[in-house]
């Protein structure tokens, strides 16, 4: 279904940062303080403020648990030669970070300087473990499988003519919150596969398409195969409105146009692969979205009725936000419908138009989130990830700049993605003499005999390949790994099956 709002939308000028800059400048101006405070407080009438509060509480709680690691370890470093060091260190750690430190590392402080790199990696792994446990046990983002949010969203998706939503954002940590925050989609209702440059694997995605269709034929799940719905593949590339020439997508040399073009080419190749490989009108729907990593606003590319993706013309959620900021809820909804479909009647929205409407309304909340909690534009416009996630899984990670993803089965195939991650962390951590914490994860299906053992074997295999590829970092204690597996058929949390920190202990005995 084409987005027919082009005629109306094309006169929008995105002026990437203009509205935000004006806003930020106003905030800092001393002259119109009262007026500005009103502006700060003013949110869009479509914004879900209570959801924003919850999301911010979650974000700040998790991030501070990582950001307290360095000050805590500094405090512990200072007392390493004090009496009763181990007990004091443990109680500081427990109080500040809520975790115990590994005794076998603290134990050695009398004979050699405390291995702060090992402690740093340990703390990062344990904070990740806590966030992961909390995620799977308490569903803090209220988006788990079977939750009311997930069920409602899945029904709404079907109503938009979509039976599977498959999103590939860039591996970049600044897009790790795309699903739960930027698009406000329950995490369990979407397939997410992050790749550097958002350049997903065609063969793998065709396999996923086959599995999805087979489930419809065999189990009528989520709907019957003959119903006229589609598999929707979305590519989310990214750009920076604040520093477009340096803080865009590294995989595309910060060239927005190239990122959009290559994303579009991948999408069309996927569609062609499905159409050529299967009979009986097999096809998929496609969507290309640009994400501004500074404001979290979206540029949704228009597609024509013949299936082409328009690289120039987009619907900008930020433009819509700005132009409707003073509208009532009802007026704003009508205006968005008008822009998308050329018709202001919400009831008449159909198919992908309806889905785009949903995305824009959801994203308006996120624009206000960034305005309210991050001064309209993130302070960390560049990379600031806390750890690298390698393997298959990580359903629990939904925060901006928390994790650099390298979605891979083998280091042999995924090395280009992983190299980018290691390069980023060489700047972030190694330059400060801190190690790169890498969490390895392989999800498995507990229903399949031996799958758990194979997932563990995959972890060890990837760990071994990492230790060969980045030997010089590993040898200096500047790269540590934590091996985890998780049963995807179960609500249970992930399980740590080993750490590079453990192995050293064993060797020492």
The least CB distance from residue 380 to a second copy, in Å, is 34
* Backbone dihedral angles phi then psi of residue 325, each to the nearest 5 degrees: -60, -30
Query: Residue 490, interface with a second copy (CB under 8 A)?
Result: no
Residue 128 or residue 407: which is nearer to a second copy going by CB? 407
Residue 352 or residue 465: which is nearer to a second copy going by CB? 465
Q: Can you tell me which of 38, 57, 82, 214 binds a second copy, judged by CB under 8 A? A: 214
Q: What are the helix (H) ranges across 278-385?
A: 317-324, 329-341, 351-373
Query: Residue 280, interface with a second copy (CB under 8 A)?
Result: yes
Q: Which stretch binds a second copy (CB under 8 A): 93-101, 127-135, 139-147, 204-212?
A: 204-212
Query: Residue 145, interface with a second copy (CB under 8 A)?
Result: no
What lies within 8 Å, CB to CB, of 191 at 6+ separation is 164, 165, 166, 167, 208
Q: Which residues pair with 479 in a beta bridge?
A: 436
Contact at 8 Å (CB) between 420 and 196? yes
Q: Which stretch binds a second copy (CB under 8 A): 4-12, 30-38, 279-287, 325-333?
A: 279-287
The least CB distance from residue 203 to a second copy, in Å, is 7
Q: Can you tell me which of 34, 111, 279, 347 binds a second copy, judged by CB under 8 A? A: 279
Q: Which stretch binds a second copy (CB under 8 A): 175-183, 335-343, 441-449, 472-480?
A: 441-449
Residue 453 or residue 475: which is nearer to a second copy going by CB? 453
Residue 226 or residue 509: which is nearer to a second copy going by CB? 226
Residue 350 or residue 447: which is nearer to a second copy going by CB? 447
Q: Can you tell me which of 42, 211, 257, 492 binds a second copy, judged by CB under 8 A? A: 211
Q: Which residues pair with 392 in a beta bridge?
A: 442
Which positions from 286 through 345 interact with a second copy, judged by CB under 8 A?
A: none
Residue 282 or residue 311: which is nearer to a second copy going by CB? 282
Which positions from 400 through 439 interact with a second copy, judged by CB under 8 A?
A: 409-413
Query: Residue 146, interface with a second copy (CB under 8 A)?
Result: no
The least CB distance from residue 236 to a second copy, in Å, is 21
Over its C-alpha atoms, the chain yields an Rg (Å, rounded) of 24
Q: Which stretch binds a second copy (CB under 8 A): 36-44, 131-139, 267-275, 435-443?
A: 267-275
The secondary structure element, H or E, covering residue 18 is helix 18-28
Dihedral sign from CA coordinates of 255, 259, 319, 9:
positive
Q: What are the helix (H) ranges across 68-101?
A: 69-78, 85-97
Q: Which stretch binds a second copy (CB under 8 A): 36-44, 128-136, 247-255, 274-282?
A: 274-282
Dist. CA 508–CA 84, nearest whole Å: 23
Number of residues that bind a second copy (CB under 8 A): 36
Annotated ligand binding at 170? The verdict is yes
Annotated ligand binding at 249? The verdict is yes
Report DSSP letters for 211-225, one per residue: HHHHHHHHH--SS-T
Annotated ligand binding at 482? The verdict is no
Contact at 8 Å (CB) between 334 and 361? no
* Kind of pairing between the strands at 436-444 and 479-487: parallel
* Backbone dihedral angles phi then psi of residue 318, each to the nearest 5 degrees: -70, -40
For tokens 């739960």, the residue is 180
Q: Can you tell me which of 250, 273, 311, 381 binds a second copy, judged by CB under 8 A? A: 273
* Nearest residue to 72 (alpha-carbon basis) of 50, 58, 89, 53: 89
Long-range Cβ contacts of 90-94 (<8 Å, 24+ apart): 93/123
From residue 447 to residue 476, the character string flagging contacts with a second copy as x (rule: CB under 8 A) and all else as - is xxxxx--x------x---x-----------
Q: Can you tell me which of 27, 40, 77, 206 binds a second copy, judged by CB under 8 A? A: 206
Q: Can you tell me which of 218, 347, 506, 509 binds a second copy, judged by CB under 8 A? A: 218
Examine the residue annotation and report whether 502 is marked as an active-site residue of this protein: no
Which positions from 350 through 369 interact with a second copy, judged by CB under 8 A?
A: none
| Among 139, 166, 172, 487, the one annotated catalytic | 172
Give buried/exposed letters for 11-26 (b at 16+ CB in 10 A, else e).
ebebebbebbeebbeb
CA distances from 90 to 397, 469, 503, 506 (A): 28, 34, 22, 22
Q: In what order do the strands lie in the sheet with 285-292?
A: 191-192, 162-169, 230-239, 285-292, 298-303, 309-316
Query: Residue 272, interface with a second copy (CB under 8 A)?
Result: yes
CA dihedral 10, 16, 18, 23 (to 10 degrees): 110
Q: Which stretch binds a second copy (CB under 8 A): 29-37, 163-171, 231-239, 266-274?
A: 266-274
Residue 465 or residue 474: which is nearer to a second copy going by CB? 465
Residue 265 or residue 331: which is nearer to a second copy going by CB? 265
Dist. CA 47–CA 19, nearest whole Å: 18
Annotated binding-site residue numbers: 170, 238, 249
Annotated binding-site residue numbers for Zn(2+): 170, 238, 249
Which residues are marked as active site?
Answer: 172
Residues that bind a second copy (CB under 8 A): 202-203, 206-207, 210-211, 213-214, 217-219, 225, 268-269, 272-273, 276-280, 282, 409-413, 445, 447-451, 454, 461, 465
């Amino acid at each position: 279904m084409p987005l027919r709002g082009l005629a109306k939308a094309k006169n929008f000028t995105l002026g990437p940062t203009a509205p935000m800059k004006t806003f930020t400048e106003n905030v800092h101006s001393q002259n119109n303080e009262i007026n500005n405070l009103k502006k700060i407080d003013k949110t869009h009438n479509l914004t879900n403020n209570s959801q924003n509060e919850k999301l911010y509480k979650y974000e700040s709680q998790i991030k501070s648990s990582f950001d307290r690691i360095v000050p805590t370890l500094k405090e512990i470093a200072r007392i390493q030669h004090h009496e009763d060091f181990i007990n004091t260190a443990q109680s500081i750690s427990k109080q500040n970070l809520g975790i115990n430190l590994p005794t076998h590392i603290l134990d050695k402080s009398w004979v050699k300087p405390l291995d702060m790199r090992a402690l740093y990696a340990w703390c990062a792994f344990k904070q990740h473990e806590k966030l992961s446990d909390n995620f799977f046990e308490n569903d803090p983002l209220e988006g788990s499988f079977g939750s009311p949010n997930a069920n409602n969203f899945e029904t709404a998706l079907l109503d938009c003519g979509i039976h599977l939503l498959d999103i590939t954002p860039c591996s970049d940590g600044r897009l790790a919150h795309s699903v739960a925050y930027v698009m406000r989609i329950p995490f369990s209702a979407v397939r997410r596969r992050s790749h550097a440059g958002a350049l997903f694997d065609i063969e793998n995605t065709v396999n996923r398409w086959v599995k999805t269709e087979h489930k419809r034929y065999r189990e009528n799940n989520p709907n019957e195969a003959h119903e006229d719905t589609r598999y929707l593949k979305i590519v989310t590339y990214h750009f920076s409105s604040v520093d477009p020439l340096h803080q865009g997508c590294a995989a595309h040399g910060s060239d927005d146009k190239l990122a959009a073009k290559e994303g579009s080419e991948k999408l069309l190749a996927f569609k062609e692969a499905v159409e050529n490989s299967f009979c009986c009108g097999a096809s998929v729907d496609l969507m290309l979205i640009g994400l501004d990593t500074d404001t979290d606003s979206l540029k949704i590319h228009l597609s024509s009725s013949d299936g082409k993706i328009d690289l120039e013309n987009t619907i900008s959620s930020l433009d819509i936000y700005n132009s409707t900021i003073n509208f009532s809820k009802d007026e704003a909804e009508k205006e968005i419908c008008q822009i998308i479909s050329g018709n202001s009647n919400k009831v008449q929205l159909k198919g992908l138009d309806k889905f785009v409407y949903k995305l824009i309304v959801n994203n308006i909340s996120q624009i206000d989130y960034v305005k309210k909690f991050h001064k309209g534009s993130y302070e960390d416009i560049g990379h600031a990830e806390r750890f690298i996630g390698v393997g298959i899984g990580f359903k629990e990670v939904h925060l901006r700049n928390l994790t650099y993803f390298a979605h891979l089965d083998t280091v042999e195939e995924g090395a280009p993605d992983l190299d980018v991650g290691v390069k980023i962390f060489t700047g972030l951590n190694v330059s400060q003499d801190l190690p790169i914490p890498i969490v390895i994860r392989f999800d498995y299906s507990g229903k399949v005999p031996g799958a758990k053992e194979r997932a563990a074997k995959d972890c060890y295999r990837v760990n071994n390949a990492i230790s060969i590829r980045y030997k010089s970092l590993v040898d200096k204690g500047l790269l540590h790994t934590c091996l985890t597996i998780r049963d995807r058929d179960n609500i249970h949390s992930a399980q740590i099956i080993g750490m590079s920190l453990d192995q050293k202990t064993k060797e020492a005995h």
